[in-house]
């Protein structure tokens, strides 16, 4: 995010049926992270991997 790393040395996984919420102050990278997870943006470093057949959707608040 500019010159500031939003996430560094971070792992995250979900099991089937799990749901999560992403909360935080304005400008902290929530939308950027979701766009990366949804495949709409590329991470500067690292990777996002999904099990075959798993989909992710992102609907922006403002078009």
Give SS3 for 63: coil
pLDDT for the residue 31? 87
DSSP codes, 22-61: ----TTSSHHHHHHHHTTSS--SSS-----TT-------S
What range does the domain containing 34 cover? 1-63
In this prediction the pTM is 0.71
| Number of domains forming the structure of the chain | 1
Neighbouring C-alpha atoms within 13 Å toward the C-beta of 9? 0
pLDDT per residue of the chain (63 residues) written in tens, 0 to 9? 567 777 778 888 888 888 888 899 988 888 888 888 888 899 888 888 888 888 787 788 776
Q: Measured in whole angstroms, how far is the alpha carbon of residue 5 from the centre of its chain?
A: 14
- Report residue 30: phi and psi, to 5°: -60, -50
């Amino acid at each position: 995010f500019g010159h500031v790393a939003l996430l560094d040395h971070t792992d995250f996984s979900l099991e089937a049926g799990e749901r999560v919420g992403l909360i935080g102050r304005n400008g902290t990278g929530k939308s950027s992270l979701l766009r990366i997870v949804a495949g709409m943006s590329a991470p500067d470093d690292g990777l996002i991997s999904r099990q075959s057949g798993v989909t992710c959707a992102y609907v922006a608040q403002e078009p």
